[in-house]
Amino acid sequence: MARRSMIAGNWKMFKTPTETMALIKELLPLVADVKHRDIAVIPPFPCLYAAKEALKGSRIMLGAQNIHHEEQGAYTGEVSVSMIKDLGCAVVIIGHSERRQYFYEESGLCNLKIKRAFAHQLASIYCVGETLHQREEKKTFEVVLHQLREGLEGLTAQQLSAMVIAYEPVWAIGTGKTATPQQAQEVHNQIRKYLIDVFGPDAAQQCRILYGGSVKPDNIDELMAQPDIDGALVGGASLAAKDFARIVNYL
């Protein structure tokens, strides 16, 4: 059975609540006929309520960009799973390369966040990927598999089948550079093989693996033609309704 593809737009630290309403209003009619794949928009925390209101009546899922691994507590500036669930979020990004790079988040911490998300029936998009230096040293598979091993530790096959992995070559995020479809497929295939070895073929085949890294309207079709690429985690192109709609409507 073919996996249902997913296109998720990570807005990062862009858009105000007012701009969020306007962007979603422009986007909705452009993707209204898409029923055969999942769509998610993932704005900054202050924009989640505005996005929830704007998305009412649509099939588009709302997501958050991060969560804290504890249920609640004295963690000034942090956001809990309960908070984003109450705002209507169905998915959360965990371990994005920018969280790893700028906020020193390790895969072990991501593992705690994934487990916390599962405790609240919230789907995770767990991000993995190598830097340019690591790729040049031919350590791509070593780095990615290490992130998978630590981030997914202790999860069941059933949990894996319900989550999403996103491969993001760090050197391709926001740089305009994109891994070729063949390079992306090679890593996605290695991820799939690892998941099969650890969680079994059924769960591994159900788990969706997205590609993230300068995904644009002019490269989405070729990327999605690869057998182990099940969708995309889109950055900058998700901030323009027409560009994101074109990606959602890939051939």
Q: Is residue 1 part of a domain?
A: no
Per DSSP, 124 falls in state E
In the annotation, is 188 catalytic?
no
Set 96, 98, 105, 130: catalytic member:
96
Number of domains in the chain: 1
The confidence score (pLDDT) of residue 16 equals 98
Helix, strand, coil shares, percent, the chain, to 5:
45, 15, 40
Cβ within 8 Å of residue 78, ≥6 positions away: 68
pTM score > 0.85 for this model?
A: yes
Q: Is residue 207 part of a domain?
A: yes
CATH number for the domain including 100? Answer: 3.20.20.70
User: Around 133, how many Cα atoms within 13 Å sit in the side-chain half-sphere?
Assistant: 0
Cα gap 242→237, rounded to integer Å: 9
The confidence score (pLDDT) of residue 169 equals 93
Q: Does residue 150 surpass a pLDDT of 80?
A: yes
Share of the chain above pLDDT 70, in %: 100
The confidence score (pLDDT) of residue 57 equals 96
Q: Does residue 184 surpass a pLDDT of 90?
A: yes
Per DSSP, 2 falls in state P
Cα dihedral sign for 11, 235, 55, 121? negative
Mean pLDDT of 157-168: 97
15-29 pLDDT, tens digit per residue, is: 999 999 999 999 999
69-87 pLDDT, tens digit per residue, is: 999 999 999 999 999 999 9
The confidence score (pLDDT) of residue 1 equals 55
Mean pLDDT of the chain: 96
Q: Is residue 69 part of a domain?
A: yes
* 177-190: burial string, b at 16+ Cβ within 10 Å, e else: ebbebeebbbbbeb
What stretch of H or E contains 109? helix 107-119
Whole domain around residue 217: which residue ranges? Answer: 6-248
For 176, other C-beta atoms within 10 Å of its C-beta total 8
Cα gap 71→82, rounded to integer Å: 7
The confidence score (pLDDT) of residue 243 equals 98
Q: Is residue 176 part of a domain?
A: yes
Set 98, 105, 130, 168: catalytic member:
168
CB contact at 8 A, 62 and 32: no
In the annotation, is 96 catalytic?
yes
Separation in Å, CA 112 to CA 67, 107, 154 = 10, 9, 10
Residue 179: pLDDT band (50, 70, 90) is confident
The confidence score (pLDDT) of residue 251 equals 76
The confidence score (pLDDT) of residue 72 equals 97
Closest by CA to 165, choosing from 249, 233, 113, 216, is: 233
Backbone conformation region of residue 214, classed left if phi is above 0, alpha if psi is from -120 to 50, else beta: left
